[in-house]
Chains A and B, each alone.
Chain A
Amino acid sequence: MRGQYALVGMAESAVGVVPDKSPRELCVEVTLNAIKDAGLTLTDCDGLITCNAFAEPILYHAEAVAEYLGWQPRHCVTVNTGGGTTFMAINMAVAAIAAGMADTIVVAMADSLRSFMTRDQAMVVQSSSGHPHYEQPYGPTVPAYYALIARAHMDRFGTTEAQFAEAAVSCRAWAHQHPNAQKRELITVDDVLQSRPIADPLKVLDCSLVSDGGAAVVITRRERAQEGPHQPIYVLGYGEGHAYEHISQAKDLTTSAAVLAGDAAYAAAGLTPDQIDLMQLYDCFTPALLIQLEDLGFCRKGEGGDFLASGVTRPGGSKPLNTHGGMLSHCHPGNPGAMFGLTEAMLQMRGDAQARQLANIQTALCHAQGGIMSSHATLILGVEATL
């Protein structure tokens, strides 16, 4: 499968506060724009994969988006694996093409947690991922679930709140260079430490944003990929890891199934962590990012704090991470959040990342997770030269 399928088109909507379009309309917009970016028309595409929107739930979401466009794709399916949806959907697109169910598939996602829900609604709907009988009655918030993991990492490895804060500082430094990022003003470790307490040890600047926005990509066979206006970005490897659904059922609070997802993706790609030029990880909360750096092999277990504090992930560093600013600073519209890690990787590999463009990005690792570090998906991408 390595190198046989490629991402040939991409689109991002405006992100942050986007009150003028509903989630469905944002999804339609990025679907059409991604197809256009690929140099294709709707009739060239025969598959659509979407995820549902918290702010506008639709029973048959992908079908509703296709219907809105007057499109009858051969393959049409809605994926629902929380934050991990993005890369699981990419893998399902690859699998569907391999199985002959479609030739060219659009993966499109959008939600509007900011403008089409109240903050309280957004909070309640997200924390509803907790077990209805054995977690939710106690009032845990999503930040509280991640705070449990953060505390466990601090207890076991001596990780500090300042080291978690480094993740937020690094992402913000990248967002500072991104014209569309929701939060662009530079912050310091002290700013993070002094920000409003949410669920100890997490402060508000340790938490990702609440945003509107959507993004889409177009994926097709290698043979068809050569025809487009942009250089194709190839799928080199993919892997998943699933450990549990509810955090109270986790066997290990400080090592996640990202290890399994990463190992499978590296094996498929024939690459090792030191051969990855760009990391686009899932920064819903700063501890999640730190633990992924360890679990995906970019540093040793327990050394994520030192790795972040060394500054290598910031602009100018040797290990660029979340160069769009991540969900901590660029945007986080819920399930579509990791789409922007993917589209940013495509921009960097195409050489279209403007002020934040890095030199010679040939490989990128994109990681997403659903639940409370529950299910994981790792996607490794490469340019033509890596095939």
Chain B
Amino acid sequence: MSRPTPNPTPTEQPFYDACQRGELQLQHCNDCQHVLFYPRTHCDACQGDSLSWRPASGKGVIATYTVVRRGVSADFPAPYIIALIDLAEGPRMMSQIIDAEPEALSSGLPVMIDFESWSDTITLPVFRLATGQTP
């Protein structure tokens, strides 16, 4: 497998370190309280540069999704599900929804974060349908 794998910048490293531990961490702006994703040096709401990393719940809902029937490369056997997830803390994130039947999907469904290893040093967030339970 050689799926594209991030090569984090120093700014991004805390996000990937947290993922490696099985935690989702998001940046919060100390000036305007905006919650950011993806990681940045400056807040994308107020452009301030005072940002703090805080743990996030890992809960979200499906904003929209697609079942990819023709994979981007041999490293991505189809079908697989790409979704935009609206995190409970506010930001939107692209991810995969794993272990779900396409027929079971719809926008607005609650999802819960999980983590999947992409390489020895990189673990990425993926999501599962929350199926009505709150883990």
Contacts and interface: CB of A to CB of B under 8 A. Distances in A.
Interface in B86-117: 92-96, 102, 107-108
Contacts of A132: 4, 6
Interface in A65-80: none
A249 B65 CA distance: 15
Contacts of A147: 66
B63 A253 contact: yes
A240 to B, nearest CB: 21
B84 A248 contact: yes
A247 B124 CA distance: 19
A139 B71 contact: yes
A20 interface: no
Interface string A115-134: 00000100110010001111
A199 interface: yes
A143 to B, nearest CB: 8
Nearest to A126: B72
Interface residues of A, number: 36
A137 B4 contact: yes
A204 to B, nearest CB: 9
Contact of A253 (B3, B8, B64): B64
B68 interface: yes
B42 interface: no
A139 B3 contact: yes
A284 B132 CA distance: 38
Contacts of A143: 70
Nearest to B118: A137
A161 to B, nearest CB: 13
A137 B3 contact: yes
A158 interface: no
Nearest to B70: A198
Contacts of B5: 137
Given A136-B4, A139-B82, A151-B107, A198 B93 contact: no
Given A138-B82, A155-B64, A200-B69, 13 more contacts: A124-B73, A132-B4, A134-B6, A134-B37, A137-B3, A138-B94, A138-B124, A139-B96, A144-B72, A152-B107, A201-B66, A248-B84, A248-B93
Q: Which 7 A-B pairs have the closest CB atoms?
A: A147-B66, A139-B76, A133-B6, A248-B94, A197-B69, A200-B67, A152-B64
Interface of B: 3-8, 12, 37-38, 63-73, 75-76, 80, 82-84, 92-96, 102, 107-108, 118, 124
